[in-house]
Amino acid sequence: MNSEINLKDKILQAACKLIEEQGMTHFTLENIAQRAHVSKGGLLYHFPSKEILVQAMVEIFLKELKSSLRKDFLLSSQENDRTIQPINWLKNYIHICFNQKIYLNQYKYAILAALTMDPKFLLPVRKFIKESQEEMLSLDFPTIATMIRLTCEGLWLSELFGFQMVDDRTRINIKQKLLDLLDDYELHAKPLDFFD
């Protein structure tokens, strides 16, 4: 079972790497199988169509995003309570979007694949963004929270599309300014629960 999971991950990673290096015009099952070092039949066993493969890419992108957001939270002492404090969610979101080396980044190409093939594949991501924005609006500082989120996503998306708009020094400075901005606000909003 673990070897099957590892093979699926290997195929998904190969698909993302293919888009990163060669673009969507080379995004074929044959090329993905070749890059993953599996037969086309082996690929089709796990992902019977390109559409199913792209949906799986989006699913793992969202799973990795949620997992990364959970990582450093101050969780409630109740084991089954997955709520988090808003400041921790926003700080982690800043770190995720500004850190180019995190595991999540290899799956960002799922967004491009879904947009190219069928934007409805992005519905789970849109749902997550909508829910997170609703929570931002419920905070004591909704405009600041939304500005922070949009700044993070703007940087991340500009890099997804290959627009290297800022150098490393500027990136570090922007990240620090956002974190400083958060530190200036006292948070009294209810905890967030984005992980259902």
Tell me, yes or no, whether 38 and 58 share the same domain. Answer: no
pLDDT at 73: 52
Enclosing domain of residue 9: 1-48
Q: Given this model, what pLDDT does residue 65 score?
A: 83
Q: How many domains does the chain have?
A: 2
Same domain (yes/no): 44, 59: no
**Contact by Cβ (8 Å): 96, 84:** no
Q: Do 170 and 88 share a domain, yes or no? A: yes
Helices marked H in the chain — which ranges? 2-22, 29-36, 40-46, 50-70, 86-98, 109-117, 123-137, 142-160, 168-183
Q: Same structural domain for residues 90 and 163?
A: yes
Rounded CA separation 97/127 (Å) = 19
**How many CB atoms neighbour CB 120 within 10 A?**
9
* 93 and 164 assigned to the same domain: yes
The confidence score (pLDDT) of residue 84 equals 59
pLDDT computed for residue 75 by the predictor: 43
Q: Do 96 and 179 belong to one domain?
A: yes
- Mean pLDDT, contiguous 10-residue spans, the chain (196 residues): 75 93 94 96 96 95 82 46 65 82 70 92 92 80 88 86 84 92 65 48
What stretch of H or E contains 121? none
The secondary structure of residue 49, as a DSSP letter, is S
Structure tokens at 87: 């400041």
How much is the pLDDT for 92?
Answer: 84
Backbone angles phi, psi at 13, to 5 degrees: -65, -40
| 91 and 180 assigned to the same domain | yes
| CATH value at residue 8 | 1.10.10.60
pLDDT at 77: 34
